[in-house]
Structure 1
Amino acid sequence: MSARRLFAIMVKELRQMRRDRITLAMIVGIPVMQLVLFGYAINFTLRNLDTAIADQANTAGSRALVMDLQNTGVLNPVKDATSPQELMTMLRRGEISVGVVIPPDFERRRIDGREAVQILVDGSDTSVQAAAGQLAQVPLDSGSTVKSKPAQISVVGFYNPERRSAINIVPGLIGIILTMTMVMFTAVSIVRERERGNMELLIATPVSSSELMIGKVLPFAGIGFIQTTLVLILGAWLFEVPVRGALLDVYIAAVLLILANLSLGLMISTKAQSQFQAMQMTFFVFLPSILLSGFMFPFAGMPKIIQWLAEVLPLTHFLRLVRGIMLRGASLWELWPETIALIAFTAVMMTAAILRFRKRLD
């Protein structure tokens, strides 16, 4: 073995790596991304949960209690309500995570030592239910001069009272699987045509750029349907995961995510020069999606700037859709902001991919 020849090969590989900008970006970007995400964005201590309060008593004591609840840092009142029914509607739509009910006879209940306040929690996210549980320790006699028995704050979790993790995880797995497979399959498919020399033949035909790209992705939509059905069947069979909303809405939400991921895969394919680069770039997208979307770590625990970044990811909106439909029984119409976000993402990515494809290969 010659040390000189060995050194020459090493220098050659380093120079080739330097010319490969995508690989160089992965070498630097992945450690930085993981350090920032795990050290800064991931936080298991939930604070500032979106909350609506129905203060039917509207007394000095009830207002003092609301202030005490806010001072815990767990709640972030964003809306007011007039009744428990209105709070339940907000919970089902995903507008809030916690609802506080203070009944009209709050003062009498407090003096008698009965249940005086009820905390309604969206239990489809077990981390939110655990964080709201500490509110039961807030004293009810703050600022009161009336001697009373120890009153109670009850915390009621809806949609997953048993706190089974599978109830929360299985719907999210639909999004994780579709994100991983749809983006990678599409990105690799276009690049493979280019590597094999088939792209020039396709361009020589009367097929337009739009027809070519849309025709390439539609077969993968069928694969996405099969994967969605498989997860739903196994989830119901093995883990008894319910579908409280309309099954059709679940499939429509899945279609929206499939289209968003396919358009993202097409965008990646216009940038990647090889199948290996396409897989690298897919991993670069998949990592923040699984960490920031709310699948693995609680969304409410992330800093605001990270939450804004997560709003760009289609998986974030799909998780809200699928959990709202399957676990809370919400309709697609009630979750319209997430639907619009997925449609807008697909339109922007597909348009950009088609324009970039024409620019590169015309």
Structure 2
Amino acid sequence: MIRLKALLVKEFLQMKRDKAVIAMMLFLPVVQLLLFGFAINTDVKHLPTIVYDQCLQQDSRDLLDSFTASGYFDIKDIAGNFEEVDEAVDAGREKVGIIIPPDFASNIKHGRSAEVQVIVDASDSMTASSAINAAQIIGQLKSQELMGKKYRQLTGEKYITPYDIRIRPWYNSDFVTAYYMVPGILGIVLTMTMVMITSMAIVRERETGTLEQLLVTPMKSYELMLGKIIPYIFVGYIQAAVALSAGILVFDLPVRGSLSLLFLLTTPFIVASLALGILISTIAKTQMQAMQMSFFVLLPSVLLSGFMFPREAMPTLFYYLGDILPATFYMEIMRGIILKGIGIQYLWTQAAALGVFIIGVFTISLVKFSKKIT
């Protein structure tokens, strides 16, 4: 009994010393609850939409009003030709493209089936499913409005669907789940391993007593951090190559874009993840704290980056929180190159965002590290 009491006292004292870790463990369920409760929504609405209306009459405007009123489509741009629609969807600025032909109103007036083409970015299968279902329902409802006596007389009692909504899912027309998930999994694996490895780098040196030995050398702070980062860049490349090869061989993952560009843009993502781990390492006092803080990065990366749940369905606050995560930009890079086959002209903004993230986080890490050693 005495030994048990002594052990309990020892553990409580240890918990007191590790109060930061205990606080994180208590706070983590609250973060999970908020993220799952508010940010996760599979009913995707307000999809950015571009319209190419060649009819420009009241019938086409009424149809577009129905799309907007549904709450699933937000018309952001008006295109002047097909190429503008293609470019907007390829770049990821718009998730849906609606093309109305010039004879749309004439077909409605004379009792003929009026075709409308709806292009959907199916690289995100959940978003695409919501868009397709909503477009089909809108077409059915608008058709029912015209299926009155006058329209039946025009068609000679023959059943013709007035609004013929032609869905064109691009990039993943068969909605193969692996095509959507595998690129995302690669980003999450790299985030998890790179952040966790480097988050304990400086802390481990401090706990083993070797940090002081490094500090007495002529080595500068940024050289020490670069020395901790550079070797793991090659580890990240190996991980990416192995995971991508497995995706191609096992899941028949199509790589429609440039592999060299993919690996080139993987570099800033790996460095950004390593820099984030170094920042954690300069803040944490123990390896346990570093590991707990790493989970605070991993969880939002899974939930807010668009890996599993579409970002378009998230509340505004959580949507912009996702914009500060390196994984968010890498998801767009991976799916853009692998599924869409797009080039650097559409992905330079994501690469630039990762570059800004690296500079900002690395600078903060240097300042924090300098304060700790002075």
Give TM class, smaller chain: over 0.9
What is the distance in 2 between the residues matched to 1:12 and 1:112?
85
CA contact (8 A) 1:55 1:102 kept: yes
Match of 1:150 in 2: 161
Comparing 59-68 and 130-139, the one that deviates more:
130-139
CA shift for structure 1 position 67: 0.5
Q: Deviations over 1:262-297 (max 9, x none)?
A: 110010000111222111110111011111111011
CA shift for structure 1 position 14: 3.3
TM-score by length of 2: 0.91
CA contact (8 A) 1:188 1:279 kept: yes
1:300 aligns with 2:298: no
Q: Which runs of 5+ in 2 are unaligned?
A: 155-159
Comparing 102-111 and 281-290, the one that deviates more:
102-111
1:131 aligns with 2:130: yes
CA shift for structure 1 position 186: 0.8
What is the distance in 2 between the residues matched to 1:41 and 1:195?
38
Comparing 245-254 and 286-295, the one that deviates more:
245-254
Match of 2:121 in 1: 122
CA shift for structure 1 position 142: 8.3
Match of 2:239 in 1: 227
**Partner SS state of residue 256, structure 2:** coil
What is the distance in 2 between the residues matched to 1:298 and 1:14?
43
Work out the number of aligned pairs and report it.
Answer: 360
Match of 1:166 in 2: 178
1:95 aligns with 2:106: no
Q: Among residues 337, 352, 355, which one is paired with 2:364 in the alignment?
A: 352
What is the distance in 2 between the residues matched to 1:302 and 1:296?
12
Match of 2:157 in 1: none
Would you identify which runs of 4 or more consecutive aligned residues in structure 1 move more than 6 Å? 142-146
CA shift for structure 1 position 240: 1.2
Match of 2:284 in 1: 272
What is the distance in 2 between the residues matched to 1:270 and 1:21?
18
CA contact (8 A) 2:48 2:73 kept: yes
What is the distance in 2 between the residues matched to 1:8 and 1:197?
29
Q: Among residues 42, 49, 70, which one is paired with 1:51 in the alignment?
A: 49
Counterpart AA for 1:216? K
CA RMSD between the two structures = 1.8
Counterpart AA for 1:326? I
CA shift for structure 1 position 9: 4.0
Q: Deviations over 1:48-68 (max 9, x none)?
A: 111111111111010010010
What is the distance in 2 between the residues matched to 1:108 and 1:18?
78
CA shift for structure 1 position 155: 1.2
CA shift for structure 1 position 13: 2.9
